[in-house]
Amino acid sequence: MPTYSRTITVKGDIESAFNFTADFRNLEKWDTASTAELVTNEPIREGTVFRATTDFNNKVRVLDYEVIEWGAPLRASLQAETKNFKLIDTIFLSANSRGTELTYSVEVKYKGVFIIVGLFIGPVWTKLMNTQIKNLEEVLGPV
């Protein structure tokens, strides 16, 4: 179960950073290969579902991300599952002397034969995570 994680500090306040990042309708603003729409009704909370369309490793996928943890404004986790893998995206936020520290983490749980195949996809995940965190930093305002 590989986990890919990056931490940045941004200018904005913790609540604004949380609201932007945890609301996957903003996904295309920091993950340029993805878009997402809200499937369930507002407000966003545990059980909320976003449908994301993403281009990963040159394959377009449609994933339903369900909010499985909602601890605004400090933590949120969203989960998507297919027959080959489960993704758990977690956002952790805390205030520091320079602004808001944001950690974005993606845990990948491969299933079946993808347990082996997943060993070779690591560099793709690393590149994606690096791009996403750089974009998040630019959008939220680097310190």
Question: What's the start-to-end Cα distance of the chain, in Å?
Answer: 32
Q: What is the pLDDT of residue 108?
A: 93
The whole-angstrom separation of Cα 34 and Cα 26 is 10
Grouping H, G, I as helix, E, B as strand and the rest as coil, residue 13 is: coil
Task: Quickly state the pLDDT bin for 113 (edges 50, 70, 90).
Answer: confident
Summarised one tens digit per residue, pLDDT across range 40-99 is: 999 999 999 999 999 887 889 999 999 999 999 999 999 999 998 999 999 999 999 999
Summarised one tens digit per residue, pLDDT across range 1-42 is: 789 999 999 998 999 999 999 999 999 999 988 999 999 999
Q: Which domain holds residue 26?
A: 3-140
Record the pTM: 0.92
Strand segments, DSSP code E, in 13-84 are 34-38, 49-56, 59-71, 75-81
* Cα–Cα–Cα angle for 127, 131, 133, rounded to 5 degrees: 115
* Cα–Cα–Cα angle for 6, 79, 9, rounded to 5 degrees: 25
Summarised one tens digit per residue, pLDDT across range 118-132 is: 778 888 889 989 999
Q: How many domains does the chain have?
A: 1
Query: Which contiguous run of DSSP H or E holds residue 138?
Result: helix 122-140
CATH number, domain with residue 77: 3.30.530.20
The whole-angstrom separation of Cα 130 and Cα 143 is 18
The whole-angstrom separation of Cα 63 and Cα 54 is 8
Q: What is the pLDDT of residue 132?
A: 93
